[in-house]
Amino acid sequence: MNKLHLIYTPVTGVGLHGGFRGDVWFKHRIEIFKNYTLKSMLNQSNKNFIHWLSFRYEEQYNPLTKELFNYLKSINYPIIFTFDGLMYWDDKFTEYTLKSAFWNLLMMVRDCWIYKEWKNPLTIWKYTWEDKNKTLLQRLTYVLEKFKRDFTGYDWVYMTRIDSDDMFHKDTIDLIQGQDPTSQEALVFDQGYIYNVKTGQLADWNPPTNPPFHTLIFYNWTFFDPVKHLEFYKDFHTHEDITRIFKYKILDINKYMVSYHGKQINTTWNTSLARKLYYDYKYKPKGYCYTTSGKNISTHWESRAGHLNFMIGKEYFGEEKELILKDFGIHD
């Protein structure tokens, strides 16, 4: 069975702010991608894959994008760039209501304050009423028609998601491709690692829901047909839905690593009291305790009497830490 393995990384076009948080954020994210995500992919024992990076339409004219593309080509890295935005449902627009629009507006103002990158108020107002999911089928049609011309002779398409600041263990791609495509629709991971780029700390990462490192397995004719492609997703809205709606298999632990560098869209190292109380409530029925606080892993462990953080677990040091990082293409 011939398999086409696409490693999908949405770079821009994701979430709020029209899917773009400014050139300062973009330049920083490209550096994180090159120093961590890319190095982990170059470190793979199985390099039979193509890395698909998606951007907004506007990024095809951004010098930073062109610089990244030229760099990846110069090292003969197998890539595809598309400029039609996110290629699946954007969970920031799951419920397009007045309430969700108001919440999105507050989040964008908050981000501008945090990153000190202020935007034109009219632009923010425009993005408040944006609903990118309405154009998903149209954008998929354009991209998949091109892919269908370029990729022929495959029976199956494996589509593996990894964000532009995360990493895979050197054997992850080989592990994924070794799975039988006829027995499941999705491959997922459970426990992984988290690496603090700022401090060099490394620890176990135990997310309470399915993390964003899944692989979806498509029949050839399902993947390249935009209507069937969307039908395959069923009511998928976020990576947390994977284990609810697909026939799935959990692969080995510790085959992925999330990074913390201070400019993530979602992942945070420090957590406000309000967010702590929210997670305590949300995950209490499942036995989870999310109590992240302080400025690093160790401070957190010492700050909540008797509580072991479910998300951030054992911290690694010395030779053990170095060996783990090496498996992810990182030299601390």
Tell me what pLDDT residue 74 has: 98
183 CA to centre of own chain: 25
Tell me what pLDDT residue 296 has: 34
Tell me what pLDDT residue 23 has: 85
Helical segments of 5-151, H only: 23-32, 38-42, 63-74, 98-115, 121-128, 136-150
Q: How confident is the model over 20-29, as pLDDT tens digits?
A: 777 888 999 9
Tell me what pLDDT residue 15 has: 66
Q: How confident is the model over 83-112, as pLDDT tens digits?
A: 999 998 776 655 566 777 777 778 778 777
Mean pLDDT of the chain: 82
Q: What is the mean pLDDT of residues 212-233?
A: 94
Q: What is the mean pLDDT of residues 60-65?
A: 96
The one-letter amino acid code at 159 reads M
Q: Is the pLDDT of residue 278 over 50?
A: no
3-state DSSP assignment of residue 79: strand
Q: Is the pLDDT of residue 70 over 60?
A: yes
Tell me what pLDDT residue 311 has: 79
185 class by beta-carbon count within 10 Å (0-12 exposed, 13-18 middle, 19+ buried):
middle
Contact 276, 263 (CB under 8 A): no
Tell me what pLDDT residue 183 has: 81
Tell me what pLDDT residue 128 has: 67
Q: How confident is the model over 116-165, as pLDDT tens digits?
A: 677 777 777 766 666 677 889 999 999 999 999 999 999 999 999 999 99
Contact 201, 296 (CB under 8 A): yes
Strands of 256-260's sheet in order across: 167-168, 256-260, 192-196, 202-205, 312-316
Q: Is the pLDDT of residue 277 over 60?
A: no
Locate 99 and state its tokens.
Answer: 């309430």
* pLDDT confidence band for 207 (50 / 70 / 90): confident
Spell out the residues 6+ positions from residue 199 whose beta carbon is closer than 8 angstroms to its own: 296
Supply the CATH classification number for the domain 3-92+134-266+318-327: 3.90.550
Q: Is the pLDDT of residue 39 over 90?
A: yes
Contact 69, 79 (CB under 8 A): yes
Tell me what pLDDT residue 94 has: 54
Q: Taking the C-alpha atoms of 276, 277, 279 and 284 in order, what is their torsion angle to the nearest 10 degrees?
A: 130
* pLDDT confidence band for 281 (50 / 70 / 90): very low
- First vs last C-alpha separation in the chain: 39
* pLDDT confidence band for 297 (50 / 70 / 90): very low
100 class by beta-carbon count within 10 Å (0-12 exposed, 13-18 middle, 19+ buried):
middle
The domain ranges of the chain are: 3-92+134-266+318-327, 97-130
Tell me what pLDDT residue 225 has: 97
Spell out the residues 6+ positions from residue 317 whose beta carbon is closer than 8 angstroms to its own: none
Strands of 248-250's sheet in order across: 79-82, 50-54, 3-10, 156-161, 215-219, 186-188, 248-250
Tell me what pLDDT residue 290 has: 26
Q: In the chain, count H helices and then E strands.
A: 13, 12
Q: Residue 216: enclosing H or E segment and its boundaries?
A: strand 215-219
Tell me what pLDDT residue 220 has: 95
Residue 61's alpha-carbon distances to 58, 66, 69, 71, 147, in angstroms, are 6, 8, 12, 16, 22
